[in-house]
């Protein structure tokens, strides 16, 4: 009996605030998606039809899905690799003699890789421009290496997609890596020892011990990567302006333009649909990260 | 293991040190921010009530909040209208004195100087003043008058060689020169120093204000020491004053108190609490160690030793905030009241206002009208000041998205949209740079056809400039308060090339059609000149074929005159070009035509300056003509009313005010009036001595106020313009960015057009 | 063999870290350049012209001019910096007070509707700001806190992301420990404060760090909710830099990210060790 009311007491402060500051606005968004722009008249499903028929929306949605499909696996792989390297490196270090300073060295790597997360997009944009503009470092480097002149405007051409992917990786790898590292260190070393004794190779150990042990982390990293992927708009906007190359024209671009033109009815309808899709995905995947209790 | 521990402890210590450093920085910043905190809170509180009232529809402020400074005009003698301002000071026995002069229009030489004294509530000329004669005998043009703390009058002025002289005016009417050698040209220089101001202390020491320092001399003329202040090139500068033992000025962005004993800084006072421009601020003492700071936002006061700035007079409510006026002198009266002398744009005449605390006035006018614009605009400020002096019950709050030339960002428009979509936002929107079309479609703007019709029916307006803003159903959502237009100058043959893209491309003169400039300007210029031919006026779109023709035409023009996307510094110096860009691309180019670099020039006429130059160029080339670019003009200061405005009636009144003669007659360099009477008065005004000039390299041109026929000609042109041009900035940007590689020779015109059309189709399908 | 592999790993990681260090060094060097050197090297990136970029990791003639210009002659910058502090730190405290207990409940209690509730938090977390911008504005207006620091602090406190991260972290607290505490007669609050908070600490720290960085860099919210310019945070200083002030752009960029970076460096050890510790006890 006691336990029934207690969780709600713990939840109360957060729940109250979330309902007021996020829940109610969200309901208002849903309501607006059935109204005209000024919220004066109900228009039924008109907004939804308009959005679905809108070619800019289809382009943006397609690009966004593509970006997620490319970047999230990539980010997870890169950050996982980094985590493995650091973990392996410090393990080896611990086993061999000069333990003290090796541990230190790897913590420097760790710190370094997380650092980009803390730096505002606006601060880095100037540096990216130094790298990527037609007169920039990257072109100079390529010209030097290949012997012919490179004058690619990286941020504004079809290279914009890889560029954006790179800035996304630059920024988020470290953070995901930390999460992986936590997961890795949670797997007991004795398991590895036992497997080694049984003659399991590196890949077998990876497949049968490491990956299953990281199941929980997987969901966490995945969701946070998605959340962070929406923030990539800031880089895209600062680097390539509000109408970038068609390959990196993402949902947030479209939303920004709709908002500038006061097309809030389209925006809310699109947002409601996106939320619905997210919900459906969540249900299918059994609430990602909502771990079953294990005992 | 032990080693590791120690290491990590060391590291922790180091980190703790870092942390401490952060804390120190933060608290240091916090500390100085806190000091000004309360004063800003009080201001913030005030502006909050102001901001809230129109939003919530509550126009009543709290009862009991009574009392504020009211402004009344002080009648000045009739004769002053023809005289120019010299000085406004307190003289013997604390009486207020105003010094003026009659000048020769062209040279500015002083013919006669006058002293007026304030007696029993009115200004009288002081016939007994001997100063005029004394200076005339010495052939000195009066510039400054001061009443020293030692009880003597002092005067300063320049001789025929522009050398400055400083005199003590003796009781017998003679003048005793002081600091004779200080103002003589220093070795190698042509002119000596002309100070901005001087003051004399009780013991006869003299403080002379130079550009970036104040030098103190003892009574015998021996230089004692100098005290640094921030640079000011203004010859009437009063950003500083002396008390009997201190000198107070602005130094390195702070108010500095200098000791007059040894010239050391006693104290620095933060004055970030003062709003508005801190460059144009006037400082004066309150007689008990405190400081008044006066600028267009009003009068703030700080007590001795205090760091709190309290706003005494809100300048936005009166003439202090009026852009067409310049505050020249400001004095405290005997009863906590103030007097301010202003001059207008003309060279003669001045106005005086008296500021007196009135306990019966509401502390804040009961009704607030808000005006929003992305960038600061002088015509709007002018109308706001005038509107408030006519409607004391209304406070006009002008809100701008950016200050001091900052960049307008998408976030700012989004912030405004949020308010508008919530049924809030300013009462009046200045639509320049805002998505006006969307606002109209979404019902954000109110139909103000009545205001428009009434204005048109009055016969006072240039109706042709307003007609273009009528929607198909007869509704009117926006009215421009200013209009500029491109004026072409050149020989008939060249001018005819402007009739279409085709003729522009085909033009084969001895000189290229237009002068050299960067491609972005060229693109923007042609887009504006051929607006009707290029763009669909509903959607702002452009056809692919037209786009290609447009890009190629610009390329032909650019190839002919040597334009580039970007110029290097050497090229900039060689061709007198820059990489800066104007929104409409119409860089002043009559001078290029005059130099013979190109066969036609264009001026974007938005004020007197360009016209003077253009008229002078035509004088130099009798074969040349003026022509407008079809019927296009560039409307600006487009005013609309928020359909959820709380004070619709006052908002309409404000727009009437914006269009009224009194606002429109001022030249604020943001366009011509749309008011016919204002334009007419401009045509009729003769301005002797008005002269402008420019030059670069070996070339120079100077021009006088154009003759009445020219002014009439311009007015007649304005009367014929009917096509308002507003090129969609999003489309323009796409074209500029998408064509850069084409003009750099890196891709073909088709590739460029494809890229632009791709983006454009996304934009249009949103 | 071991040694070789370790060397290989070290080299790989070092290369990866270079990708982080080099851009940051370029920025730091630019901060120390006098104006003319800055223009000589970075004319194109600054948008002032077109010229070959001459990137450098060290300034040729180090000078503190642009830093001084920013810190001494731009009083506005300080004010904005301080505003940022006022807006961010109370919000973090609020987040701690609201999100941690909620996350504890979601992680350690069984009650009907829990999965759905958690799902709702996840969905709200993914919504982009623009979508709820107008609705949020209406709520803030109703509460009468527009145009004050509270307009940024309040909505920030109830962000869903920290709840999510903290929940994930609390889930790793061993159930046995909690049960044992109950058996010893501990109350709910005791269990939360003495077992949950210490063991879930890494998640809490991570969540707060993330919120800190996110809010420190907020652009849309302050522009939308704060009309009064004197309340603007430092994140709005960067985009507002006019072209003629391009020389301080690098300095402003550096100073703006200094606090988040230093905070991270300062607590990263605790943060990471904590993260690791939580894993071990799973």
Give residue-wise pLDDT tens across range B301-332: 888 877 778 888 888 778 888 777 888 889 98
User: What pLDDT was estimated at residue B54?
Assistant: 32
**Of the candidates B30, B414, B568, which has its C-beta nearest C85's C-beta?**
B30
Q: How many CA atoms lie within 13 A of B213 on its CB side?
A: 11
User: What pLDDT was estimated at residue B311?
Assistant: 83
Residue B574, Cβ neighbours under 10 Å: how many? 11
Q: CA–CA distance from A193 to each of A103, A190, B757 (Å)? A: 21, 5, 63
Share of chain B above pLDDT 70, in %: 89
**Of the candidates B18, B40, B411, which has its C-beta nearest C230's C-beta?**
B40
**Of the candidates B253, B414, B565, which has its C-beta nearest C224's C-beta?**
B414
User: What pLDDT was estimated at residue C251?
Assistant: 83
User: What pLDDT was estimated at residue C278?
Assistant: 45
- Report if residue B40 sits inside a domain: no
**Of the candidates A56, A241, A259, which has its C-beta nearest B414's C-beta?**
A259
State the Cα–Cα distance between residues A198 and B492, nearest whole angstrom: 98
User: What pLDDT was estimated at residue A105?
Assistant: 67
pLDDT band at residue B567 under the 50/70/90 scheme = confident
State the Cα–Cα distance between residues A217 and A196, nearest whole angstrom: 24
Q: Which is more confidently placed, B184 or B452?
A: B452
Q: Are B163 and B185 in contact (CB under 8 A)?
A: yes
DSSP 3-state of B673: strand
Q: Which is more confidently placed, A129 or B5?
A: A129
pLDDT band at residue B627 under the 50/70/90 scheme = very high
- Residue B125 has φ and ψ, to the nearest 5°, of -75, 140
User: What pLDDT was estimated at residue B609?
Assistant: 81
User: What pLDDT was estimated at residue A72?
Assistant: 92
User: What pLDDT was estimated at residue B546?
Assistant: 94
C9 shares its domain with C149: no
State the Cα–Cα distance between residues C265 and B18, nearest whole angstrom: 9
Per CB-CB distance under 8 Å, the chain A contacts of B759 are 243, 246
Q: Is residue B525 pLDDT above 80, yes or no?
A: yes
Nearest to C135 by CA among A43, A15, A227, A264: A264
pLDDT band at residue B523 under the 50/70/90 scheme = very high
Instruction: Please give, rounded to a whole number of angstroms, the shortest distance from the CA of A136 to a CA of chain C.
Output: 5
| Burial (Cβ within 10 Å: 0-12, 13-18, ≥19) of residue B252 | exposed
Q: Given its phi and psi angles, is residue B174 left (phi above 0), alpha (psi -120 to 50 degrees) or beta?
A: beta
**Of the candidates B43, B55, B411, which has its C-beta nearest C219's C-beta?**
B411
pLDDT band at residue B496 under the 50/70/90 scheme = very high
Per CB-CB distance under 8 Å, the chain B contacts of A153 are 741
User: What pLDDT was estimated at residue B277?
Assistant: 66
* Token digits of residue A120: 């505002």
State the Cα–Cα distance between residues B764 and B539, nearest whole angstrom: 8
C40 shares its domain with C124: no
* Token digits of residue B292: 């008044």
Q: How many CA atoms lie within 13 A of B195 on its CB side?
A: 24
User: What pLDDT was estimated at residue B347?
Assistant: 67
pLDDT band at residue B531 under the 50/70/90 scheme = very high
Q: Is residue B379 pLDDT above 70, yes or no?
A: yes
Question: What residue ranges do the domains of chain A occupy?
Answer: 42-284
* CATH number for position C184: 1.10.3720.10
- Report if residue C62 sits inside a domain: no
Q: What is the 3-state secondary structure (H, E, C) of B458-496?
A: CCCECHHHHHCCECCCCCECCEEEEEEEEEEEECHHHHH
* CATH number for position B576: 3.40.190
Q: Is residue B105 pLDDT above 80, yes or no?
A: no
Ranges A275-289, B44-58, B729-743, C56-70: which has the least confidence: B44-58
State the Cα–Cα distance between residues A157 and B473, nearest whole angstrom: 44
Nearest to B411 by CA among C133, C76, A239: C133
Q: How many domains does chain C have?
A: 2
Q: Given its phi and psi angles, is residue B603 left (phi above 0), alpha (psi -120 to 50 degrees) or beta?
A: beta
Q: Is residue B4 pLDDT above 50, yes or no?
A: no
- Strand (E) or helix (H) holding A85: helix A55-95
Average pLDDT over chain A, rounded to an integer: 83
Per CB-CB distance under 8 Å, the chain A contacts of C117 are 11
C45 shares its domain with C158: no
Q: Is residue C264 pLDDT above 90, yes or no?
A: no
Ranges A74-88, C23-37, C78-92, C200-214: which has the least confidence: C200-214
Share of chain C above pLDDT 70, in %: 88
- Report if residue C64 sits inside a domain: no
A120 touches chain C (CB under 8 A): yes
Which residues, in sequence order, are bridge partners of residue B198? B208
Q: Which is more confidently placed, B639 or A215?
A: B639
Q: Which is more confidently placed, B275 or A197?
A: A197
Share of chain A above pLDDT 70, in %: 90
- Report if residue B31 sits inside a domain: no
Q: CB–CB of B11 and C269 under 8 A?
A: yes
pLDDT band at residue B12 under the 50/70/90 scheme = very low
Per CB-CB distance under 8 Å, the chain C contacts of B21 are 262
Q: CB–CB of C98 and A17 under 8 A?
A: yes
C106 shares its domain with C13: no
β-pairing, B394-400 vs B326-332, is unpaired
Name the strands in the sheet holding B265-269, side by side, starting at the edge strand that comes first in the sequence. B240-242, B246-251, B254-259, B265-269
Q: How many domains does chain B have?
A: 1
The complex scores an ipTM of: 0.82
CATH of A42-284, one of 3.30.2130.10, 3.30.470.20, 1.10.3720.10, 1.10.287.70: 1.10.3720.10
State the Cα–Cα distance between residues B504 and B497, nearest whole angstrom: 5
C153 shares its domain with C272: yes
Q: Which domain holds residue C273?
A: 76-280
**Chains with at least 3 CB pairs less than 8 angstroms from chain B:** A, C
Burial C219-247 (b: 16+ CB within 10 A, else e): bbbbbbbbbbbbbbbbbbbbbbbeeebbb
User: What pLDDT was estimated at residue B53?
Assistant: 30
Q: CA–CA distance from C165 to each of A117, A291, B715, C96 (Å)? A: 16, 13, 69, 12
Q: Which domain holds residue B760?
A: 481-638+647-654+662-765
β-pairing, B367-373 vs B394-400, is parallel
| Burial (Cβ within 10 Å: 0-12, 13-18, ≥19) of residue C186 | middle
Q: Is residue B40 pLDDT above 60, yes or no?
A: no
Q: CB–CB of A38 and B765 under 8 A?
A: no
* Strongest mean pLDDT among A201-215, C141-155, C224-238, C253-267: C141-155
State the Cα–Cα distance between residues C233 and C223, nearest whole angstrom: 9
C142 shares its domain with C170: yes
- Closest-CA residue of B relative to C76 is B272
State the Cα–Cα distance between residues A282 and A36, nearest whole angstrom: 30
Q: CB–CB of C223 and B411 under 8 A?
A: yes
- Report if residue C67 sits inside a domain: no
Q: Is residue B662 pLDDT above 50, yes or no?
A: yes
pLDDT band at residue C43 under the 50/70/90 scheme = confident
C11 shares its domain with C106: no
Q: What is the mean pLDDT of residues A282-293?
A: 54
C42 shares its domain with C86: no
Q: Are B338 and B313 in contact (CB under 8 A)?
A: yes
pLDDT band at residue A237 under the 50/70/90 scheme = confident
State the Cα–Cα distance between residues C192 and B678, nearest whole angstrom: 76
Per CB-CB distance under 8 Å, the chain A contacts of B444 are 38, 262
* Token digits of residue B499: 């009739």
C18 shares its domain with C107: no
**Of the candidates C82, C130, C241, which has its C-beta nearest B29's C-beta?**
C82
Q: Is residue B22 pLDDT above 60, yes or no?
A: no
C228 touches chain B (CB under 8 A): yes
C48 touches chain B (CB under 8 A): yes
Nearest to B432 by CA among B726, B764, B723, B732: B726
Q: Which is more confidently placed, B344 or B587?
A: B587
State the Cα–Cα distance between residues A231 and C129, nearest whole angstrom: 10
Q: Is residue B7 pLDDT above 70, yes or no?
A: no
* Token digits of residue B476: 């009117």
B548 touches chain A (CB under 8 A): no
Residues 6+ apart with CB under 8 A from C66: C31, C33, C34, C35, C38, C247, C248, C250, C251
Q: Is residue A238 pLDDT above 90, yes or no?
A: no
pLDDT band at residue C75 under the 50/70/90 scheme = low
For the stretch B323-327, contacts whose Cβ atoms lie closer than 8 Å and that sit 24 or more positions apart, written own/partner, are B323/B296, B323/B378, B323/B381, B323/B382, B323/B385, B323/B668, B324/B378, B324/B382, B324/B666, B324/B668, B325/B351, B327/B282, B327/B294, B327/B296
Per CB-CB distance under 8 Å, the chain C contacts of A224 are 165
Residues 6+ apart with CB under 8 A from A194: none
- For the stretch B423-440, pLDDT in tens is 888 999 999 989 998 999
- For the stretch B127-170, pLDDT in tens is 888 888 888 888 888 989 999 999 899 999 988 888 899 999 88
User: What pLDDT was estimated at residue B602?
Assistant: 93
| Burial (Cβ within 10 Å: 0-12, 13-18, ≥19) of residue B552 | middle
User: What pLDDT was estimated at residue B668?
Assistant: 64
- Report if residue B117 sits inside a domain: no
Q: Is residue B524 pLDDT above 90, yes or no?
A: yes
Q: Are B197 and B144 in contact (CB under 8 A)?
A: yes
Q: Are B379 and B387 in contact (CB under 8 A)?
A: no
- For the stretch B52-92, pLDDT in tens is 233 333 333 444 467 888 888 888 888 888 888 899 999 88
Q: Is residue B553 pLDDT above 90, yes or no?
A: yes
Q: Is residue B31 pLDDT above 50, yes or no?
A: no
- Report if residue B261 sits inside a domain: no
A152 touches chain C (CB under 8 A): no
Q: Are C142 and A39 in contact (CB under 8 A)?
A: no
Q: Is residue B15 pLDDT above 70, yes or no?
A: no
Q: CB–CB of C49 and B414 under 8 A?
A: no
Ranges B276-280, B664-668, C16-20: which has the least confidence: B276-280
Average pLDDT over chain B, rounded to an integer: 83
Virtual torsion, Cα B556, B558, B559, B561, nearest 10 deg? 120
User: What pLDDT was estimated at residue C273?
Assistant: 58
- Token match 């982009």: residue? C128
Ranges B193-207, B400-414, B608-622: which has the least confidence: B400-414
Q: Is residue B33 pLDDT above 80, yes or no?
A: no
State the Cα–Cα distance between residues B341 and B329, nearest whole angstrom: 5
A282 touches chain C (CB under 8 A): yes
- Residue B180 has φ and ψ, to the nearest 5°, of -50, -40
Torsional sign, CA B542, B545, B546, B551: positive
């Amino acid at each position: 009996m006691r336990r029934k009311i207690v969780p709600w007491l713990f939840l109360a402060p957060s729940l109250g605030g979330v309902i007021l500051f996020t829940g109610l606005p969200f309901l208002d968004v849903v309501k607006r998606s059935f109204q005209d722009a000024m919220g004066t008249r109900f228009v039924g499903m008109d907004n939804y039809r308009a959005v679905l028929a809108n070619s800019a929306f289809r382009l943006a949605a397609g690009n966004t899905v593509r970006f997620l499909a490319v970047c999230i696996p990539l980010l997870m792989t890169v950050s996982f690799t980094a985590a493995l390297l650091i973990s392996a490196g410090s393990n080896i270090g611990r086993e061999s003699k000069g333990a003290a300073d090796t541990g230190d060295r790897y913590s420097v790597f760790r710190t370094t890789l997380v650092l980009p997360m803390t730096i505002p997009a606006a601060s880095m944009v100037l540096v990216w421009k130094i790298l990527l503009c037609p007169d920039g470092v990257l072109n100079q480097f390529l010209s030097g290496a290949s012997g012919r002149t490179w004058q690619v405007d990286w941020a504004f051409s079809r290279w914009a997609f890889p560029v954006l992917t790179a800035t996304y990786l630059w920024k988020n790898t470290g953070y995901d890596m930390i999460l992986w590292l936590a997961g890795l260190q949670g797997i007991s070393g004795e398991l590895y020892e036992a497997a080694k004794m049984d003659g399991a190779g590196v890949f077998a150990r990876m497949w049968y011990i490491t990956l299953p042990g990281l199941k929980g982390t997987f969901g966490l990293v995945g969701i946070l990567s998605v959340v962070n992927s929406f923030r990539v708009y800031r880089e895209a906007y600062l680097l390539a302006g509000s109408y970038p190359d068609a390959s990196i024209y993402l949902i947030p671009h479209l939303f920004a333009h709709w908002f500038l033109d006061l097309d809030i009815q389209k925006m809310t309808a699109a947002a409601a649909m996106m939320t619905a899709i997210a919900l459906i995905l969540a249900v299918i995947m059994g609430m990602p990260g909502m771990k079953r209790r294990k005992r | 293991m032990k080693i590791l521990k120690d290491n990590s402890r060391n590291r922790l210590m180091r980190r703790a040190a870092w942390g401490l450093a952060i804390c120190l920085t933060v608290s240091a910043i916090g500390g100085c921010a806190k000091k000004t905190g309360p004063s800003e809170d009080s201001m913030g509180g005030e502006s909050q009530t102001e901001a809230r009232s129109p939003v919530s529809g509550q126009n009543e402020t709290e009862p009991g909040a009574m009392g504020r400074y009211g402004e009344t005009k002080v009648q000045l003698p009739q004769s002053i209208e023809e005289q120019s301002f010299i000085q406004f000071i307190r003289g013997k026995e604390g009486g207020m004195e105003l010094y003026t002069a009659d000048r020769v229009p062209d040279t500015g030489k002083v013919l006669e100087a006058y002293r007026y004294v304030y007696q029993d509530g009115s200004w009288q000329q002081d016939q007994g003043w001997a100063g005029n004669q004394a200076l005339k005998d010495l052939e000195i043009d009066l510039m400054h008058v001061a009443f020293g703390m030692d009880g003597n009058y002092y005067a300063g002025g320049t001789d025929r060689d522009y050398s400055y002289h400083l005199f003590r005016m003796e009781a017998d009417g003679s003048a005793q020169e002081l600091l004779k050698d200080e103002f003589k040209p220093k070795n190698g220089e042509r002119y000596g120093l002309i100070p901005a101001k001087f003051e004399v202390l009780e013991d006869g020491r003299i403080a002379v204000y130079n550009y970036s320092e104040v030098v103190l001399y003892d009574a015998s003329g021996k230089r004692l020491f100098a005290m640094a202040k921030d640079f000011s090139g203004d010859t009437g500068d009063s950003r500083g004053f002396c008390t009997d033992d201190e000198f107070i000025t602005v130094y390195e962005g702070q108010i500095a108190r200098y000791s007059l004993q040894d010239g050391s800084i006693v104290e620095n006072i933060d004055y970030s609490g003062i709003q508005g421009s801190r460059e144009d601020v006037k400082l004066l003492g309150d007689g008990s160690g405190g400081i008044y700071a006066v600028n267009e936002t009003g009068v703030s006061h700080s007590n001795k030793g205090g760091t709190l700035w309290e706003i005494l007079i809100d300048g936005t409510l009166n003439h202090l905030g009026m852009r067409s006026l310049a505050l020249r002198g400001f004095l405290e009266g005997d009863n906590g009241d103030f007097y301010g002398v202003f001059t207008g744009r003309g060279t003669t005449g001045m106005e005086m206002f008296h500021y007196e605390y009135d306990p019966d006035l509401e502390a804040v006018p009961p009704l607030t009208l808000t005006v929003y614009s992305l960038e600061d605009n002088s015509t709007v400020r002018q109308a706001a000041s005038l509107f408030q002096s006519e409607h004391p019950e209304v406070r006009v709050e002008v809100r701008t998205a950016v200050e001091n030339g900052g960049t307008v960002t998408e976030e700012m428009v989004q912030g405004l949209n949020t308010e508008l979509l919530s049924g809030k936002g300013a009462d009046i929107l200045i639509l320049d740079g805002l998505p006006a079309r969307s606002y109209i479609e979404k019902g954000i703007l109110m139909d103000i056809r009545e205001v428009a019709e009434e204005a048109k029916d009055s016969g006072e307006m240039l109706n042709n400039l307003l007609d273009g803003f009528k929607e198909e159903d007869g509704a009117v959502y926006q009215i421009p308060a200013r209009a500029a237009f491109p004026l072409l100058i050149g020989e008939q043959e060249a001018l005819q090339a402007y009739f279409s893209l085709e003729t522009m491309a085909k033009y084969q003169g001895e000189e290229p059609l237009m002068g050299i400039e960067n491609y972005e300007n060229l693109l923007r210029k042609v887009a504006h000149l051929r607006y009707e031919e290029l763009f669909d006026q509903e959607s702002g779109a452009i056809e692919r074929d037209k786009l290609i023709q447009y890009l190629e035409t610009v390329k032909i023009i650019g190839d002919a005159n040597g334009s580039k996307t970007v110029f290097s510094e050497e090229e900039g110096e060689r061709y007198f070009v820059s990489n800066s860009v104007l929104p409409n691309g119409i860089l002043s180019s009559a001078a290029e035509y005059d130099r013979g670099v190109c066969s036609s020039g264009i001026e974007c006429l938005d004020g007197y300056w360009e016209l003077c130059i253009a008229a002078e160029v035509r004088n130099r080339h009798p074969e040349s003509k003026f022509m407008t670019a079809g019927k296009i003009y560039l409307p600006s200061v487009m005013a609309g009313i928020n359909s959820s405005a709380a004070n619709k009636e006052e908002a309409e009144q404000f727009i009437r005010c914006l269009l009224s003669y009194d606002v429109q007659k001022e030249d604020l360099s943001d366009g011509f009036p749309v008011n016919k009477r204002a334009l007419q008065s401009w045509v009729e005004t003769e301005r002797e001595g008005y002269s402008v000039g420019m030059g670069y390299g070996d070339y120079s041109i100077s021009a006088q106020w154009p003759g009445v026929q020219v002014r009439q000609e311009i007015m007649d042109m304005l009367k014929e313009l009917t096509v308002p041009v507003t090129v969609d900035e999003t489309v323009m940007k796409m074209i500029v960015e998408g064509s850069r590689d084409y003009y750099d020779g890196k891709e073909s015109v088709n590739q460029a057009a494809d890229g632009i059309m791709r983006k454009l189709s996304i934009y249009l399908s949103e | 063999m071991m040694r070789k592999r370790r060397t290989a790993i070290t080299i790989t990681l070092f290369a990866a870290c270079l990708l982080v260090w080099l851009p940051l060094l370029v920025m730091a060097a630019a901060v120390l350049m006098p104006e003319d050197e800055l223009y000589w090297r970075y004319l194109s990136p600054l948008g002032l012209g077109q010229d070959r970029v001459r990137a450098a990791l060290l300034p040729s003639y180090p000078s503190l001019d642009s830093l001084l210009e920013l810190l001494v002659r731009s009083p506005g910058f300080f004010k904005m910096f301080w505003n940022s502090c006022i807006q961010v730190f109370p919000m973090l405290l609020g987040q701690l007070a609201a999100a941690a207990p909620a996350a504890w409940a979601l992680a350690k209690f069984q009650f009907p509707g829990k999965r759905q509730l958690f799902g709702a938090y996840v969905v709200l977390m993914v919504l982009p700001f623009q979508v709820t911008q107008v609705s949020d504005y209406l709520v803030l207006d109703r509460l009468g806190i527009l145009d004050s620091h509270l307009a940024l602090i309040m909505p920030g406190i109830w962000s869903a992301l920290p709840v999510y991260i903290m929940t994930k972290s609390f889930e790793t607290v061993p159930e046995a420990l909690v049960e044992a505490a109950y058996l010893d007669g501990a109350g709910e609050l005791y269990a939360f404060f003495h077992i949950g908070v210490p063991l879930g600490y890494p998640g809490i720290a991570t969540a707060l760090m993330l919120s800190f960085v996110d809010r420190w860099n907020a652009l849309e919210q302050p522009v939308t909710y704060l009309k009064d310019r004197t309340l603007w945070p430092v994140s709005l200083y960067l985009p507002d830099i006019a072209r003629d002030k391009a020389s301080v752009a690098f300095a402003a960029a550096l100073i703006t990210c200094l606090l988040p970076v230093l905070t991270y460096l300062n607590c990263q050890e605790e943060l990471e060790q904590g993260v690791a510790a939580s894993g071990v006890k799973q």
